[in-house]
Chains A and B, each alone.
Chain A
Amino acid sequence: MLLRLATALVLYAAAALAAPTEEFTFDKAQAFLKTYCHNCHKTSVGGFDLNVVATPGTLRTAPVKWNRAALRTRNGEMPPKGSPAPSVDARVEFAGWVEHSLRQEACAEGIVPGPAPIRRLNRDEYSATIRDMLDIHMDFGATLPVDGAGGEGFDNAAETLFLSPLHSEKYLEAAKFVMDFAAKEYKSRQKIFVAYPGKGVTADQAARRIVESFLPRAFRRPVTEAEIAPYLALYQLARKQGNDFEPAILFALRGALVSPNFLFLSVPPQSGTGAKPLESYALASRISYFLWGSLPDEFLTDLAAAGKLHEPAVLRYLVERMLRNDRSLVFAQRFTEQWLGTRDLRGDKAPDAKLFPAYATDEELRGDIRFQPILFFRELLTQNLSLLNFIESKGTIATSNLSKHFGEKLPVRANASKQPQWVELPEGSTRGGLLGMPAVLAVSSHPYRTSPVLRGAWVLDTILGTPPPPPPPNVPALEEPHAGAAPKTLRDRLLQHRANPVCASCHEKIDPLGFALENYDVIGRWRTEDGGKAIDNSGEFPDGTKFQGPTELKAALMQRKDLFVRHLTAKMLGYALGRGLTLKDSCTVDAIAQKVKDNDYKARTLIEEIVLSVPFRYQMARPQQTQREQTNRD
């Protein structure tokens, strides 16, 4: 039965399958296009002409056109209303074939580095960088606007880190605030005032030494004389205005904190052709902002200076060392919360306070719930456990509070029961993996009640990376009772709506996943009845496959573990690179996912292989640069 459930999941997951369904071929794709698209697109209509995708070679020469055709078909935007339309399964099959074929074509040329765009430090990175650079523990980024997200869904994506006039003001103010604050802190002063005017040292000499020591840290690389000059000039300007030595220094360093060399991470272009290793300091920053969300420490900088950073053994060692460091908690938190969407628990998705006072009034419990998935991931990393624990696990992170919340007797250490800790789960526990975690169960619910639709879609999107197509336009959301004849239970209502064949084609694949989780209420407590009625946690797929409860659901997901690992790999690579992935990156994702699989799905393998990957360590050289450099030299 489980195998059959897994097959049913595949139906939906087809678009992201590593292997195409056997029967689908290029000719079939052409037949599909002929049947559903030819009528309009036999010539260019809406910028799409079937002739541009008519031969197998076009998969290489016109990937953008193919991709768009697949997406629009999959999402039901095409063919337009009124034209003969393919079934959802046929759409998904076609789109899955296109995606797979494009990937194969893209990989034919081998793995390439992809773009390495300049990117602004986001709010969290700004705070952490200031903190580590000056040894002051205060959230200086708190006044900056919240950053949005793009690419693979993270707030460190270069393409969506915009700058508004608001930013310029806040950066200028924050720099002043930071330096004023640092001037009063003993530890920060040690970091700044590496020299002082005195015997044998003029004020100008001291100023130069200070700037020379500060700028390389702020800019995360050695600096040239030309780069030092404007900041020394600022010091001189301040002196001329009648400022003493110290305020003049603080003024100059304020300037450095507003400089794009500080605010942005950039990879200097290289001339020549093909892939070239990143310049060492850029690589040091890349690793450090990936795993610590902050600037490289001295150890990392020294390795970069010694030219040793590109050695695979060094990188492997670094990954282990950096993950063990407390600073990697930030990485676990930022990645996990954005991947799972649990950040929204502090926003729109917060469970309703009146309905769930147990959650709303207990700050400690809320903290435990929020940090459970984060610390769970961190445990996988530091203990180098299997990533499949995300789907099903024999242990979890717990506290005495969580144990009570779960209604399960968990072996929490008596002397530190409030501390989140890894515990072994008893036989028959319902708390293994992500799907047993209240944070996940809450964020995939409405604030006031559970929703099998939302939870089903959450599993498809977040775990498998195969989001369901959007509902067709102008079809109202499911779940709400029709006026007059409102059936009693949510399940009845959903079943009633599935009577509509348009809705049914998708919802019969989404909803059962969510029904399997109905034993968990909005805040993840276990329940066997709801509003006096027994919970029915059974599901049935269109082919008649029946299943029940979270354990069978997780077993089914385990059958699709490679799909899950591939999705997680893509997310992690996007986060590590700080940009959206391109078609060509999918070859890297495939290669890393394979290595993770070969190494028993070990969590650290994922991180190591990403750090060792071509897109992470290399950049494309620019031939045109050579010419310009040539001109410059002449």
Chain B
Amino acid sequence: MTKPLTRRTILRGAGVALGLPWLEAAAATTPRHPVRLAALYMPNGVNVSAWTPQGKGRDWQLSPTLQPLASLKDKITVMSNLWNANSKGGDGHYVKEAAILTCATIKKTPGADIANATSVDQMAAQRVANLTPLPSLELGVTPVAIGVDAVVGYTRIYGSHIAWSNPTTPLAREINPRSVYERLFRASSGPHGNAAKMDALLLDRVLGDAKRLRTQVGSEDRIRLDEYLSVMRSLEERVQRASATNKTPWKPRVAIDPKTAPTDQPVDHAEHVRLMLDMIALAFQSDTTRVSTFMFGNAVSNVSFRFLPGVSAGHHDVSHHQNDADKLRQYQIINQWHIEQYAYLLKKLDSMKEGESTVLDNSMVLFASALSDGNKHDPHRLPLVLGGCGGGRIDSGQHLVYSDDAPMANLYVSMLEAFGAPVERFADSTGPLQGLLKGA
């Protein structure tokens, strides 16, 4: 593995990546429909015996847990036996879950020198940041877990973030559906014209003030202020784009109706999840962003699934089933519930027409857990489903079975390729994922 970049280098790099002028970047895009990328993360692994489909290639049958995807079988790809080698050591959860989209080995720390790698969604987002009002959308349903897990010595920040804009910056998530909705609406509808122009002026002056402060602090503190300058500058650029009234090339593909805002107090976990998934669909349909991540829960989530018939315990507890038949049964019910939510999002995207195709046809929506059998904390044979056709690039409708040591990072190489943000390597990748892309 290459030596991790320093925070400073990365920020400089990010500045370059984001610095492309709006019009120029917009003109460079040609595909008729944008390709979107999302990742849905489920904590605590799966009941393996009910997860893996029978058969392979195009001749395969959905497993019991994957049944909710039956009507979408042609538009999904199930991948078996991929693993995340760099998440092998360390503890049972944080190391795995923080690395689900980065394929890196996180640094064991209570916080001072946090280190991961840039996640695959952010690699994609950084490539198209100039094309949509929001670079990406990070969502969840539970707040960041507070504190340091003293038993294993990791800050819980690791278990609460899968999207990392660089090795030292996890991205904050939103958990309130109403506030996401309002954000999407604002981003897709304005502020245009004068208000945006004023915002840009304001940010310009404030950035000047920030630069002065930067010269007055010590070198360690400058790194923090660089982080500030970086996010404020990219906001300024976005606001400037929005203020260029008659030249703005971006228009919502489907306008967001301000009157259909969701509640900010969902009645239960299930409703909360659905509302957040609705926000991804809305964001993708309107093209407010093309990249999103969603966490069903934090690492070691012990959300009670007693609202499901036949389940009597919390998520994490059930995942430590010890091969007890009843626990395994409950584990499977919980897994399948997650797949139902995933299917809900895929169906919703598939119902959104885009010319001859649907938004799902032009998306890649990954469903992933960072463990296979939660009882073993095992990052081998990860449960992975890719929904959607990536704008026609994905050879969907297959069960792809790999040899045991095939890196999951190969999947990310192929997803970035289909997204239009190709990379030569991603972490421990050895090439593209065989059989995933058409003609590859």
Q: Is chain B found bound to chain A in the same assembly? A: yes
Count A-side interface residues using an 8 Å CB cutoff. Answer: 86
Residues of A within 8 A of B50 (CB): none
**Residue-by-residue, is B378-413 near A (CB-CB < 8 Å gives 1, otherwise 0)?**
100000000000000000000000000000000000
Given A148-B146, A480-B321, check contact A117 B151 (CB 8 Å): no
Of residues 12 through 62 on chain A, the ones whose CB sits less than 8 Å from some CB of chain B are: none
A interface, by DSSP: helix, strand, loop or mixed? loop
Given A149-B155, A164-B171, A469-B151, check contact A348 B114 (CB 8 Å): no
A378 contacts partner chain B, Cβ-Cβ < 8 Å: no
Assess whether B220 is in contact with A476, with CB atoms less than 8 Å apart. Answer: no
B170 contacts partner chain A, Cβ-Cβ < 8 Å: yes
- Expressed in whole angstroms, the minimum distance between the Cβ of A587 and any Cβ of chain B is 19
Assess whether A172 is in contact with B235, with CB atoms less than 8 Å apart. Answer: yes
Residues of B within 8 A of A348 (CB): 142, 145, 298, 301-303, 314
Given A152-B148, A157-B111, A580-B110, check contact A166 B138 (CB 8 Å): yes
A-contacting 9-mer, from B25-33, B224-232, B245-253: B224-232
Residues of B within 8 A of A148 (CB): 144-146, 155-157, 160-161, 170
For the complex, give the distance between the alpha carbons of A476 and B317 in Å: 10
Assess whether A255 is in contact with B202, with CB atoms less than 8 Å apart. Answer: yes
For the complex, give the distance between the alpha carbons of A77 and B156 in Å: 20
Assess whether B151 is in contact with A483, with CB atoms less than 8 Å apart. Answer: no
For the complex, give the distance between the alpha carbons of A255 and B199 in Å: 9
Name B317's closest neighbour in chain A (CB-CB). A446
Assess whether B205 is in contact with A264, with CB atoms less than 8 Å apart. Answer: no
Assess whether A165 is in contact with B234, with CB atoms less than 8 Å apart. Answer: yes
B165 contacts partner chain A, Cβ-Cβ < 8 Å: yes
Name B165's closest neighbour in chain A (CB-CB). A164
- Expressed in whole angstroms, the minimum distance between the Cβ of A241 and any Cβ of chain B is 7
Contact with B212, one of A117, A145, A164, A227 (Cβ below 8 angstroms) = A227
Assess whether A150 is in contact with B146, with CB atoms less than 8 Å apart. Answer: no
**Residue-by-residue, is A151-185 near B (CB-CB < 8 Å gives 1, otherwise 0)?**
11111011110111111110011000000000000
A233 contacts partner chain B, Cβ-Cβ < 8 Å: yes
Assess whether B213 is in contact with A473, with CB atoms less than 8 Å apart. Answer: no
Given A75-B153, A148-B144, A268-B217, check contact A164 B206 (CB 8 Å): no
For the complex, give the distance between the alpha carbons of A116 and B198 in Å: 36
Count B-side interface residues using an 8 Å CB cutoff. Answer: 86
Name B163's closest neighbour in chain A (CB-CB). A164
For the complex, give the distance between the alpha carbons of A197 and B202 in Å: 23
For the complex, give the distance between the alpha carbons of A482 and B206 in Å: 63
A631 contacts partner chain B, Cβ-Cβ < 8 Å: no
Contact with B203, one of A155, A172, A354, A622 (Cβ below 8 angstroms) = A172
**Residue-by-residue, is B229-267 near A (CB-CB < 8 Å gives 1, otherwise 0)?**
001101100000000000000000000000000000000
Residues of A within 8 A of B199 (CB): 172
A386 contacts partner chain B, Cβ-Cβ < 8 Å: no
For the complex, give the distance between the alpha carbons of A476 and B179 in Å: 40
Residues of B within 8 A of A119 (CB): 224
Q: Which of B146, B210, B231, B323 neighbours the largest number of chain A CB atoms within 10 Å of its CB?
A: B146
- Expressed in whole angstroms, the minimum distance between the Cβ of A84 and any Cβ of chain B is 21
Contact with A168, one of B143, B156, B232, B313 (Cβ below 8 angstroms) = B232
For the complex, give the distance between the alpha carbons of A241 and B193 in Å: 12
For the complex, give the distance between the alpha carbons of A588 and B320 in Å: 42
Assess whether A457 is in contact with B151, with CB atoms less than 8 Å apart. Answer: yes
Residues of A within 8 A of B134 (CB): 165
Name A476's closest neighbour in chain B (CB-CB). B322
- Expressed in whole angstroms, the minimum distance between the Cβ of A142 and any Cβ of chain B is 9
Q: Interface residues, chain B, CB within 8 Å of chain A?
A: 89, 91-92, 109-114, 134-135, 138, 142-148, 150-153, 155-157, 160-161, 165, 169-175, 179, 183, 186, 194, 198-199, 201-203, 205-206, 208-210, 212-213, 216-218, 220-221, 224-225, 227-228, 231-232, 234-235, 298, 301-304, 306, 312-314, 317, 320-325, 327, 375-378
Q: Interface residues, chain A, CB within 8 Å of chain B?
A: 71, 75, 77, 115, 117-120, 143, 145-155, 157-160, 162-169, 172-173, 226-227, 230-231, 233-234, 237-238, 241, 251, 254-255, 258-261, 263-264, 266, 268-269, 338, 341, 343-344, 347-349, 352, 354, 446-448, 457, 461, 467-470, 473-474, 476-477, 480-483, 486, 579-580, 622, 625
Other than the given A71-B153, A149-B155, A160-B155, 10 more pairs (CB < 8 A) read A152-B148, A166-B172, A234-B202, A258-B232, A264-B225, A343-B146, A447-B302, A473-B91, A476-B322, A480-B321
